[in-house]
Amino acid sequence: MTTRAATALIVSSQQAVSAGLEPLLATLGLTCRQLDEASALDELDSGTIEVVLVDVTSAVGLRLLPEIAREHAECAVIALTQANTTALGVQAVRAGAADFLCFPFDAEEVTYVLHKVQRGLAQGVDEPPPSMLVLPETPLIGGSAPMRALHALLQKAANGMATVLVRGESGSGKELVARQVHELSPRRQGPFIKVHCAALPDNLLESELFGYERGAFSGANARKPGRVEVAQGGTLFLDEIGDITPAIQVKLLRVLQDRQFERLGGNETLSADVRFVTATHRDLESMVRQGKFREDLFYRLNVVSLRVPALRERREDIEPLALHFCETLRQKNARARTTFDADALDLLRAEAWPGNVRELQNFIERLVVLADSPRISRSDVAAELAQRAQGQAERRAPKSVASLEASVELLASAVLGAEKRALEKALRKANGNRSTAARLLGISRRALYYKLAEHGLE
């Protein structure tokens, strides 16, 4: 049985850049390809790249970086620049890069940055798959009473400078609301920078937020600004704020109180010209009572609270959401014009959607990509709902050891055959794009590569 090594794409016309990076990336288990800017997007569309390193010392690379970060959010995107050009690195992060590296490259710094950004991609089940990542131009859809109330309060909150806490269930659209606060604010011309607080342990989260000085720790071989610095003049969005530890809570409280901070390993006090918007699906009041979240920090964060309603509370919005997702995802997946029959929309409105808008969007994408005709019928929706219900029931059902042992041989044969057929169908429907195929199957790209190798489908 073989497994596929993760692949890194170096986007640069300079051979010296590739020569300096390839041996360092190889030690991290990455195979490398180098392409110039003109060929990079076609290679990324193949869905086989995990890490993209873009040389932004050229104007072409800097212009290309936002498109790569936007269209291929399943990849870790890192900017490459010359030493002592921190400003260009900051510009690249504001344009969508997860981080930047300076050449000539240092082995420890490359290792540190790669581990950090790859860990950030593996954020867990609460994070949307790549096709669900919120783009700046995505509108807030819905004319229901709860959404009208949210719109009215959001407009008022956006006009000021107060810290905003966005609350709501997972998948309800908290990041989209946070972006709208920024886009409607006086700081709309500044950057909108996101940090997913649950994705990183304390040491990485602290350096991610506040930056570090050269020599602050192993791998810190140059001064690196944190997200607070990168967001200067704009908005810093701290997602899943309820997951930060007491140690980070103390440091964040100081920034909110005094608007000052120091880089890790440094003594210089810096000013934080940043508007903070945070989000959580947790009950922070309960966490405060249990001593798990600082009360003083909670009050600093909860100046203006925006609650995003669950989808079950605004069922009249399901139809416009479904039609919007159908059209945008049809275009994204290069499918022919597709729409819903009226009775198919009735079925969608009747569902509870515990995963909220994110679950609905994922469901619509499956329908669009797997559709065999221009119209999605009631029977198409019913079949997909039945498959979804079966999968949920199987995950909940207890399995006895005796029943598993009795059927293990039959299951092994059936699973292998079903897996191969499912892989082949997903690849056909995705026109060979492995990222899309992985989403259709509900697995990671790495798991997909493993299964393709196991079944001889590479």
pLDDT level of residue 124 (50, 70, 90 thresholds) = very low
Mean pLDDT value across residues 214-224: 81
Helix (H, G, I), strand (E, B) or coil at 273: coil
∠ CA(414), CA(415), CA(418), 5° rounding? 85
Tell me whether residue 386 is exposed, middle or buried, using C-beta atoms within 10 angstroms of its C-beta: 0 to 12, 13 to 18, 19 or more: exposed
The per-residue pLDDT for 450 is 66
Q: What percent helix, strand, coil does the chain show, rounded to 5?
A: 55, 15, 35
What confidence tens digit (pLDDT) does each residue in 29-48 have?
Answer: 888 999 988 888 888 877 77
Secondary structure of residue 275 in the 3-state scheme = strand
Mean pLDDT, range 393-408, rounded to an integer: 56
Is residue 438 within a helix (H) or strand (E), and if so which, with residue range? helix 434-441
Q: Which long-range contacts (CB under 8 A, 24 or more apart) does 206-213 make?
A: 206/247, 206/248, 206/251, 206/264, 207/264, 208/116, 209/248, 209/251, 209/252, 210/251, 210/261, 210/262, 210/263, 210/264, 211/263, 211/264, 212/263, 212/264, 212/265, 212/266, 213/263, 213/264, 213/265, 213/266
pLDDT class of 138 with cuts at 50, 70, 90: low
Residue 404: band (very low, low, confident or very high) from pLDDT cuts 50, 70, 90: very low
Collapsing DSSP to helix, strand or coil, 7 comes out as strand
Write out pLDDT tens, residues 150-201: 999 999 999 988 999 999 999 999 999 999 999 999 999 999 999 999 888 8
pLDDT higher at 369 or 251: 251
Cβ-Cβ contacts under 8 Å for 55 (sequence gap 6 or more): 10, 11, 12, 13, 14, 17, 61, 80, 81
Both tokens of 33, joined, read 């390809």
